[in-house]
């Protein structure tokens, strides 16, 4: 009996230590922003641009050309064409990379370039690429593609599994960059024509900001491999090719985890006229809700598009709905996209700033994942994105405060329970 009690006691102690270890492992390593920003300028003030450059890291650089690519039928051909014409280097970091027809096309294109002597570096998130057939991985490695799985789980660093690279970056020869919301999976093929083909947007960029995008990729590559990639093949001199001022910046729990959160709060706080937010996963924290409400109360027209019932994460939708009350009550308009899963991630402020990239409007993107966004400060480009937003809005169903308040009790309960774990969504 004594032996049994001793074994139970030891086992209990070990389990307690293990649970405590897990809890400590998953705690954030950096302090979170705790106070609402004070409004000192609007987006038209030169200080807004200066602050974006200073507080987020890289400066805003002139002379960029940005092209919008709507849905897989435009996105994938442009990315594959750029890969197939690469001459020196390909740097590719992505969260979702699955087996399927488009996955196979990318595998073949990357492998062909590697066999041709191009230095191909592929960073795949371990969780996001779990649906990729190991035979495809091996085929790329055999062809000479340098494949790195980000944060492959090991028992003594379990927290790393929760920190995922959600970035979506493709850089060709250090001169052409792509970022946005798209993953490498057949769900993104087509033109959002039905619920099996998602709605998304990606962006192609040329100019000096591509060097910043390459630097973001290099940061994770160095952390994961210990290898520094440098030189003209990766960072060539980049001439001005357009008129758009732009900036590529990143956030990560290992450094600057609050940069993305800060950028959104800065943009919302500086807004003077309009905010249009496309949010595939919208679970705002209290600071973000307060900032949006304060903007609405000073007269900013705010529209938010979120997915409707056609969503790949019902838990996220439930947690999102729980937080809509104060937003709707303050006059903010929220609409649920109807045709298919809405995976767009874009913020348009005052038709002056456009921020696009991998970032979702939730705590996971703001504090836990590795993310990267492209900021463009160009009124013409912003107006073009607003027109695309308007078209999406026409395919979305508005949510009213009355409708939100009168939703079924079971739905309210599920929203409450989902919201309780919102920090991990």
Report pLDDT for 75.
98
CATH code of the domain made up of 46-424: 3.30.870.10
Measured CA to CA in angstroms, residue 220 lies from 21, 128, 210, 248 at distances of: 26, 16, 16, 15
Two tokens, residue 294: 């304060």
Report pLDDT for 339.
97
Q: Are strands 61-70 and 201-206 parallel, antiparallel or unpaired?
A: antiparallel
Helix (H) or strand (E) holding 171: strand 169-172
Report pLDDT for 13.
44
Q: Residue 118: beta bridge partners?
A: none
Q: Which of 151, 197, 261, 343 is catalytic?
A: 343
Report pLDDT for 162.
61
Catalytic residue status for 202: no
Report pLDDT for 425.
52
Two tokens, residue 188: 């993104």
pLDDT in tens, 35-69: 678 999 999 999 999 999 999 889 999 999 999 99
Report the candidate in 385, 424, 395, 396 with the shortest Cα–Cα distance to residue 180: 385
Q: Which of 121, 151, 168, 261 is catalytic?
A: 168
Measure the CA–CA gap between 314 and 279, rounded to whole angstroms. 15
Catalytic residue status for 345: yes
Residue 344 in contact with residue 278, Cβ under 8 Å?
yes
Please report, to the nearest 10 degrees, the dihedral formed by the alpha carbons of residues 124, 128, 132, 135 taken in order: 40
Q: Are strands 169-172 and 146-150 parallel, antiparallel or unpaired?
A: unpaired
- Residue 161: CB atoms within 10 Å: 15
- Residue 412: CB atoms within 10 Å: 16
List CB contacts of 76: < 8 A, sequence separation 6 or more: 102, 105, 182, 188, 189
Catalytic residue status for 378: no
Measure the CA–CA gap between 60 and 212, rounded to whole angstroms. 10
Residue 298 in contact with residue 328, Cβ under 8 Å?
no
Catalytic residue status for 350: yes
Q: Which of 121, 125, 151, 173 is catalytic?
A: 173
Residue spans per domain, the chain: 46-424
pLDDT in tens, 154-207: 554 555 556 678 999 999 999 999 999 999 999 999 999 999 999 999 999 999
Measured CA to CA in angstroms, residue 281 lies from 98, 311, 348, 366 at distances of: 21, 9, 17, 12
Terminal C-alpha separation, the chain: 46
Q: Which of 219, 285, 350, 415 is catalytic?
A: 350
Question: What is the largest distance, in Å, between two alpha-carbon atoms of the chain?
Answer: 80
Give every residue of the chain whose pLDDT is below 70, as ranges. Answer: 1-35, 151-163, 255-257, 422-425
Give rounded-to-5 percent helix, strand, coil for the chain: 40, 25, 35
Residue 291 in contact with residue 269, Cβ under 8 Å?
yes
Measure the CA–CA gap between 165 and 161, rounded to whole angstroms. 10
Catalytic residue status for 173: yes
Measured CA to CA in angstroms, residue 361 lies from 41, 282, 283, 320 at distances of: 23, 5, 6, 10
Report pLDDT for 160.
56
Q: Which of 345, 362, 370, 378 is catalytic?
A: 345
φ/ψ of 362, rounded to 5, equals: -155, 170
Catalytic residue status for 223: no
Report pLDDT for 57.
82
Measure the CA–CA gap between 57 and 351, rounded to whole angstroms. 23
Report pLDDT for 419.
79
Measured CA to CA in angstroms, residue 221 lies from 147, 188, 204, 234 at distances of: 10, 26, 22, 13
Report pLDDT for 255.
65
Q: Which of 121, 125, 151, 166 is catalytic?
A: 166
């Amino acid at each position: 009996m004594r032996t049994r009690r001793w074994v139970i006691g030891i086992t209990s102690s070990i389990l307690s230590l293990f649970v405590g270890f897990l809890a400590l492992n998953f705690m954030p390593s950096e302090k979170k922003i705790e106070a609402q920003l004070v409004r000192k300028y609007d987006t038209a003030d030169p200080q807004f641009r200066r602050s974006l450059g200073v507080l987020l890291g890289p400066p805003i650089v002139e002379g960029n050309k940005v092209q919008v690519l709507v849905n897989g039928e435009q996105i994938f051909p442009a990315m594959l064409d750029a890969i197939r014409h690469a001459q020196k280097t390909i740097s590719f970091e992505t969260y979702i990379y699955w087996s399927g027809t488009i996955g196979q096309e990318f595998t073949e294109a990357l492998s062909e370039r590697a066999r041709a002597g191009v230095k191909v570096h592929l960073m795949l998130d371990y969780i996001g690429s779990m649906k990729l057939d190991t035979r495809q991985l091996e085929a790329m490695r055999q062809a000479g593609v340098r494949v790195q799985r980000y944060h492959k789980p090991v028992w003594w660093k379990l927290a790393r599994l929760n920190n995922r690279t959600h970035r979506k970056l493709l850089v060709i020869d250090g001169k052409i960059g792509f970022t946005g919301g798209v993953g490498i999976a057949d769900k993104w093929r087509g033109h959002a024509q039905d619920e099996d083909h998602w709605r998304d947007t990606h962006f192609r960029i040329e100019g000096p900001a591509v060097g910043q995008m390459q630097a973001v990729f290099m940061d994770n590559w160095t952390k994961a491999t210990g290898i520094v990639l440098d030189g003209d093949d990766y960072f060539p001199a980049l001439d001005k090719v357009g008129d758009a001022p732009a900036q590529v910046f990143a956030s990560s729990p290992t450094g600057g985890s609050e940069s993305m959160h800060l950028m959104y709060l800065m943009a919302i706080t500086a807004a003077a006229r309009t905010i249009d937010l496309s949010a595939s996963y919208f679970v705002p924290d209290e600071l973000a809700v307060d900032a949006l409400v304060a903007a609405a109360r000073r007269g900013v027209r705010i529209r938010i598009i979120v997915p409707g019932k056609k969503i790949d994460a019902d838990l996220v939708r439930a947690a999102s709905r729980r937080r809509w009350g104060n937003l709707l009550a303050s006059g903010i308009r929220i609409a649920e996209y109807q045709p298919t899963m809405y995976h767009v991630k874009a913020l348009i402020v005052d038709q002056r700033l456009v921020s696009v990239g991998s970032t979702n409007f939730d705590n996971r993107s703001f504090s836990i994942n590795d993310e990267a966004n492209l900021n463009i400060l160009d009124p013409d480009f912003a107006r073009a994105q607003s027109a695309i937003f308007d078209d999406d809005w026409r395919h979305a169903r508005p949510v009213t405060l009355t409708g939100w308040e009168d939703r079924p009790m079971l739905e309210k309960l599920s929203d409450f329970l989902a919201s309780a774990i919102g920090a991990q969504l």
